[in-house]
Amino acid sequence: MLSRILTAIFVVTFIMLTALTPVQAQDVATGQRIFRSNCSICHSPRPGRNIVGPSLFGVIGRHSGRIPDFQYSAANLRSNLTWDPATLDRYLSNPQQVVPGTLMTFPGLKNSQQRADVIAYLETLR
Ligand code: HEC
């Protein structure tokens, strides 16, 4: 009897732990959808195409403020960041906090899975 109860407790605990563990696999297709609905009104994924924001083609690994014909804010130019996945994750969660005074009037993606997915998509733009 006791062993059955213990087995039941073990099984329930195991199921709960599995359900609570966040799935952090990054999904490029989901990231592309998130890009289209959150970023593409201001950013193009194509090289050389600047809209309200600079082209995000090849953004991974790029230094901040490096698209030659885009008028960046002084805040962006001073930020001295390299857009690696970790920095992008911080920036995209709250752009105004990471680069105070930035022209990017985007409140940020609060969901870490959405940020991981959109960054996985940005990594394909090369
Ligand atoms: C309302 C328009 C707007 C939206 C929406 C927007 N951005 Fe921006 N973004 C900008 C502008 C404008 C800049 C230039 C900022 C500056 O000069 O201060 C910028 C800059 C950036 C930069 C820095 C580029 C560089 O060369 O230094 C990255 C990276 C970026 N945005 C990613 C994103 C991503 C990813 C999304 C969607 C999750 C997004 N942005 C949504 C307008 C936007």
Query: Which residue did the predictor score with more confidence, 86 or 20?
Result: 86
Report helix, strand or coil for 54: coil
- Which domain CATH number covers 38? 1.10.760.10
The domain total for the chain is: 1
Average pLDDT, integer, range 33-62: 98
Partnered with residue 82 across adjacent β-strands are 63
Q: What is the pTM of this model?
A: 0.86
Predicted pLDDT at 51: 97
Q: How far apart are the C-alpha atoms of 57 and 48, rounded to whole Å?
A: 8
Q: How far apart are the C-alpha atoms of 92 and 34, rounded to whole Å?
A: 12
Predicted pLDDT at 25: 85
Specify if 14 maps to a domain.
Answer: no
Taking the centre of ligand 1 as the mean of its atom positions, its distance from the CA of residue 59, in whole angstroms, is 11
pLDDT at 8 over 80: no
- Ligand 1 pocket, Cβ-based, cut-off 6 angstroms: 38-39, 41-43, 52-54, 56, 59, 64-67, 72-73, 75-76, 83, 92, 102-106, 109, 118
With beta carbons less than 8 A apart as the criterion, state whether 98 and 90 touch.
Answer: yes
User: Which structural domain range is residue 67 located in?
Assistant: 25-122
Predicted pLDDT at 1: 66
Mutation to probe ligand 1, out of 64, 106, 110 (largest number of atoms < 8 A from CB): 106
Write out pLDDT tens, residues 48-103. Answer: 999 999 999 999 999 999 999 999 999 999 999 999 999 999 999 999 999 999 99
Position in ligand 1 atom list of the atom nearest CA 81 = 27
Taking the centre of ligand 1 as the mean of its atom positions, its distance from the CA of residue 121, in whole angstroms, is 15
Specify if 74 maps to a domain.
Answer: yes
